[in-house]
Amino acid sequence: MKIALAQINTTVGDLDGNTKKIINQIEQAKKQDANLVVFPELAITGYPPKDLLFKKAFVLENQKRLLEIQNATSDIGVIVGFVNSYFRERASDKIYDMAAVSHFSDMILTNAACLIDNQKILGIYEKIWLPTYDVFDEKRYFEPGKEAKVFGFCNKKIGINICEDLWVSNGPIIQQVKNGADLIIVISASPFFVGKWRIRKELVKKQAVANRVPIIYTNLVCGQDDLIFDGGSFAIDAQGNLIALAKHFAEDLLTIDIDSPMPVKDTEETEEFEVFNALVLGLRDYVNKNGFSKVVLGLSGGIDSALVCALAVEALGKERILAVIMPSPYTSEASIQDAKTLAQNLEIELLNIPITEIYNSYLKTLADPFKGKKLDVTEENIQARIRGNILMALSNKFGYLVLSTGNKSEMAVGYTTLYGDMAGGLAVISDVPKTMVYRLAHYFNQKAGKELIPKNIFIKPPSAELKPNQKDSDDLPPYETLDEILNLYIEENKDREEICKLGYPKDLVVDVIRRVDRNEYKRKQAPLGLKITPKAFGFGRRMPITNKFQ
Amino acid sequence: MKIALAQINTTVGDLDGNTKKIINQIEQAKKQDANLVVFPELAITGYPPKDLLFKKAFVLENQKRLLEIQNATSDIGVIVGFVNSYFRERASDKIYDMAAVSHFSDMILTNAACLIDNQKILGIYEKIWLPTYDVFDEKRYFEPGKEAKVFGFCNKKIGINICEDLWVSNGPIIQQVKNGADLIIVISASPFFVGKWRIRKELVKKQAVANRVPIIYTNLVCGQDDLIFDGGSFAIDAQGNLIALAKHFAEDLLTIDIDSPMPVKDTEETEEFEVFNALVLGLRDYVNKNGFSKVVLGLSGGIDSALVCALAVEALGKERILAVIMPSPYTSEASIQDAKTLAQNLEIELLNIPITEIYNSYLKTLADPFKGKKLDVTEENIQARIRGNILMALSNKFGYLVLSTGNKSEMAVGYTTLYGDMAGGLAVISDVPKTMVYRLAHYFNQKAGKELIPKNIFIKPPSAELKPNQKDSDDLPPYETLDEILNLYIEENKDREEICKLGYPKDLVVDVIRRVDRNEYKRKQAPLGLKITPKAFGFGRRMPITNKFQ
């Protein structure tokens, strides 16, 4: 039996576009003589559809698209993810009910997979394990499925799993194999973080060997707001060998003969490769799916904006980038020169818009209310906000998307200006720690075989250049140490005592944690940031702002 | 038996402060000869603790506080909400596990109530129905309780319910009454929206009558970020009569003799009373709990900023308000005069900081990049952003909290400037539709018995005054119509066809819905806004930004 893994790039809410793509892939799979073509989780709606699921019209439209797909499935089998629903008596378990307060209680939804063969629906499997952690909210929308069904198809007995189902040790696979399943097919939408693809494969190998059954794993590939789905669909035989591997970070239609599988070599790529390509995909999809012709960003002469610029060129091409250098009285000549060299190397358009005159007009206007007060961070923030305003003005005038360039280390400790350098529609590297920023910039130069990002940008000490002789190291611990502590606190969720026990000075740990905690209010208003670590700020980390716990 | 309803104002994460308050109230209740004192849901941690629940130290500290409370409970009974937990073998249902990705799988949490009598724990009830809709995420954190227990206390058999438990028709009350419960005690943290207190009482009456059992309902009272808990704890006898009613929007310790109850009169208050007082509580608690000495806001001479100013005076007192008028070339003399009169009437400090010079410096600086382009919304946004920057500069220099003044109607259709009038730490009326803004302003004047908000502010046509002769009605439908359509779309979750069928012109409905949908990106970066309707923008409404569904 030949199975095609249809690793497609869906868009949330684009029922027409997703359906068209699915039907097109079914035709392609037929040409490759596939018996069965498998699509990702919720392929019809895109993932995650979030509160669109509270719109009945959306749910019912998604089912109309399933019928279209059914009709297009002649002489081939298809497994496709969709939202199943059934009506029930209103208010069956709610005394008080209001559409907006709870979800509509007269309609139950499940996260489902439909197995279609030659225009007939052979079976529906409904996801049993609904994740409700990190960025996932599936219990907000779905009822869990109840049956670990097995479906006969092409002389095989197939057990379908949907994503999380396979990540638990007591999932449906056990019952399915007991009931005779000789092939497990997983449809998933598994968001990227660095190292995730290896974790996914280890997991599936473990399950295949433990249950003595081959497993086919189809993943989504796309950027959707903060989330990146990295593709890399694959198959593992019952002995734990990798027998198929689709592309990472790109669409693919990979056909495998499950009856005569051949081991394939796993990719060996660096973390830098992974993260760089993930960011490129996330950036490209956000810009294109939201209909922007170009992006605009500020170049400071520093490493963060240089990396974002490089990512944008990679994602969109040099013609779609407008870079702006906005020198203030505290901007060094070296920074201006570094930014210019970078723009030349990348062959992108560069505007030079000095902010000194605007800055002076603020100082003059505020002289009276600020009388008797010393210069402080206020004046630094004014500079950052003028730059934010200029980028937004260019965005308003020309319709370009503003990319913000802050990294995760800064965002964590609040070393960043709300409405200033935080302004923008997409925070490209807000989940990338500073130390990883350098690694990605090196990777970019290495890939190009030349120093597109000028050497000087790597070696000069990081500075916000918002007052004379300012350096990040005046206010922050060295980034190597800071990033280690941040990783322990945010991603590994360790507390103060646990981190101190690892050998970090208590004062430093206390200070870093205090900074992270008290900057929730800033991050509340941050733009969407692309998630590349197990725990990003944003939707997957829901901290109260009013919070006295220390 | 005398029961004291301890309606306290807790703060999330303030384990010490909350515990101190609980112990103090126990002492007070003793003085009132109460046999039992009842606290709200999760009283020890504050509600909602959100991802603080993923910190083991937080969970264990909350239990240490329970022990303190236990020790303080001599010669009286107490029911107090806390987080219960038990350890289990790590990875029992997860194959792959990482602290940050899922919640710690070696510790299970429940949302629990502890019944203590004279320093002994008599029983623990664990919430069975965990809400996961709107602003609620309880399945993200808690396992559901399994037992509808009944506890003997003081010759009564008591069934405890926690909030949502009572809102479902097949909740624990049925089993508890079957098992002999002759009193139901509900501990809750039920967030406010307009009309909620009536809904709550109707619900409890229904349950009391249907199950022939008296019900005591203790609610939280506080502002916590976007949520307002309005208090109004109460009791209903088995015949459905109201037999106790605590204060709304303030702490209270109300003792009731459950064996000889007397019917009490229900409050009859207007919607304006409810919403006004809710906003005052939410604003006051946000400012005070986050440690701000003062607030600063811009006065435009319009109704929105006038109302926010009035609310701030009511919440904080006139000494804690700094108002700023920031005229541009398009600000009318009338607006300046209206703002001045308002500030005089409210006896608050008013700064006048004209923005024309700064505005001109932007125009000059941007003349070159904008060459050949017409004036458009860009220049309007620049004015709004200069104002945002000035308020933020005052905030940075003096440590005041910036209040933003946009209403829900504007936020819905994006008639608002990101980083401009949207700038601030708290969006006081961002869930208040424009038509309700006028009603609240009238209510404020009525309450004062004089026109503190000048009449002219009510009667002039709303305008952003960002270009000559601009009026809101140039760009938007009349607010009466707009608010009706917005209510149907957002709060009643109706779709385009359903709204059109109610008699609104299709073009208008399509336009309004399109505006709401395409402005998700702005609202993503909005400050926290106080929730006063069943469906506020923000945490309880989770829409994708990249979204092609129409």
Give the nearest partner residue to B392 out of A206, A351, A385, using CB atoms.
A385
pLDDT recorded at residue B268: 87
3-state secondary structure B191-216: ECCCCHHHHHHHHHHHHHHHHCCCEE
Q: How many residues are given for chain A?
A: 550
pLDDT recorded at residue B105: 60
Cβ of B169 within 8 Å of Cβ of A93? The answer is yes
Query: Residue A154: which region, alpha, beta or left (left: phi > 0; alpha: psi -120 to 50)?
Result: left
pLDDT recorded at residue B131: 92
**Which DSSP category does B452 fall into?**
S
pLDDT recorded at residue A64: 97
Longest dimension (CA), chain B: 86
Confidence band of B168 (pLDDT split at 50, 70, 90) = confident
**Over the stretch B498-518, which tens digit does the pLDDT of each residue have?**
999 999 999 999 999 999 999
Phi, psi torsion values for A3, nearest 5 degrees: -120, 130
pLDDT recorded at residue A97: 52
Q: With CA atoms as reference, report the closest residue to B437 among B236, B300, B292.
A: B300
Confidence band of B169 (pLDDT split at 50, 70, 90) = confident
Residue A432 corresponds to which tokens in the numbers above? 């990338």
Cβ of B133 within 8 Å of Cβ of A103? The answer is yes
Q: Which stretch of DSSP H or E encloses residue A539?
A: none
Taking the CA of residue B458 and the nearest CA in chain A, the distance in Å comes to 30
Classified as helix, coil or strand, B295 is strand
Classified as helix, coil or strand, A153 is strand
CB atoms within 10 A of CB A90: 11
Q: How far apart are CA B484 and CA B434, in angstroms?
A: 11
CA distances from A279 to A248, A286, A431 (A): 13, 10, 10
Confidence band of B91 (pLDDT split at 50, 70, 90) = very low
pLDDT recorded at residue A94: 55
Taking the CA of residue A516 and the nearest CA in chain B, the distance in Å comes to 13
Q: How far apart are CA B3 and CA B11, in angstroms?
A: 24
Cβ of B390 within 8 Å of Cβ of A133? The answer is no
| Chain B touched by A226 (CB under 8 Å) | no
Cβ of B524 within 8 Å of Cβ of A528? The answer is yes
> Across the A/B interface, how many CB contacts are shorter than 8 Å?
305
pLDDT recorded at residue A99: 44
pLDDT recorded at residue A268: 87
Catalytic residue among B114, B126, B127, B138: B127
Give the nearest partner residue to A358 out of B102, B361, B376, using CB atoms.
B361
Longest dimension (CA), chain A: 86
Q: Annotated catalytic, A163?
A: yes
Q: Return the percentage of chain B with pLDDT > 70, whole number.
A: 97
Whether residue B405 contacts residue B388, with contact meaning beta carbons closer than 8 Å, is answered with no
Q: How many residues are given for chain B?
A: 550
The reported pTM is 0.96
Cα-to-chain-centroid distance, residue A450? 29
Cα-to-chain-centroid distance, residue B449? 28
Q: With CA atoms as reference, report the closest residue to B177 among B190, B161, B164, B191.
A: B161
**Which DSSP category does A50 fall into?**
G
Q: How far apart are CA A38 and CA B433, in angstroms?
A: 47
Q: Annotated catalytic, A41?
A: yes
Interval B240-246 mean pLDDT = 97
> Which value does ipTM take for this structure?
0.95
Q: Give the mean pLDDT of chain B.
A: 95
Whether residue A94 contacts residue A128, with contact meaning beta carbons closer than 8 Å, is answered with no
Amino acid letter at B477? P
Cβ of A388 within 8 Å of Cβ of B102? The answer is no
Q: How far apart are CA A80 and CA A8, in angstroms?
A: 11
Q: How far apart are CA A438 and CA A407, in angstroms?
A: 11
Give the nearest partner residue to B12 out of A15, A224, A546, using CB atoms.
A546
Interval B223-231 mean pLDDT = 98
Q: How far apart are CA B386 and CA B466, in angstroms?
A: 12
Classified as helix, coil or strand, B248 is strand
Amino acid letter at B524? K
User: Which residues of B, range 493-512, sit inside 8 Å of A by Cβ?
Assistant: 493-497
Cα Rg, chain B, nearest whole Å? 26
User: Which residues of A, range 415-434, sit inside 8 Å of B by Cβ?
Assistant: 418-419, 423, 425
How confident is the prediction along chain A (550 residues), in pLDDT tens digits per residue? 999 999 999 999 999 999 999 999 999 999 999 999 999 999 999 999 999 999 989 999 999 999 999 999 999 999 999 999 987 665 445 555 544 445 456 788 999 999 999 999 999 999 999 999 999 999 999 999 999 999 999 999 999 999 999 988 889 999 999 999 999 999 999 999 999 999 999 999 999 999 999 999 999 999 999 999 999 999 999 999 999 999 999 999 999 999 999 999 998 899 999 999 999 999 999 999 999 999 999 999 999 999 999 999 999 999 999 999 999 999 999 999 999 999 999 999 999 999 999 999 999 999 999 999 999 999 999 999 999 999 999 999 999 999 999 999 999 999 999 999 999 999 999 999 999 999 999 999 999 999 999 999 999 999 999 999 889 888 899 999 999 999 999 999 999 999 999 999 999 999 999 999 999 999 999 999 999 999 999 999 999 999 999 8
Q: Which residue of B has its CA nearest to A12?
A: B547
Residue A99 corresponds to which tokens in the numbers above? 């559409």
Residue B369 corresponds to which tokens in the numbers above? 């990049």
Picking from B510, B549, B550 by the largest number of A CB atoms within 10 A of its own CB, the best residue to mutate is: B549
Picking from A521, A525, A532, A535 by the largest number of B CB atoms within 10 A of its own CB, the best residue to mutate is: A525
Cα Rg, chain A, nearest whole Å? 26
Q: Annotated catalytic, B127?
A: yes
Residue B74 corresponds to which tokens in the numbers above? 């001599």
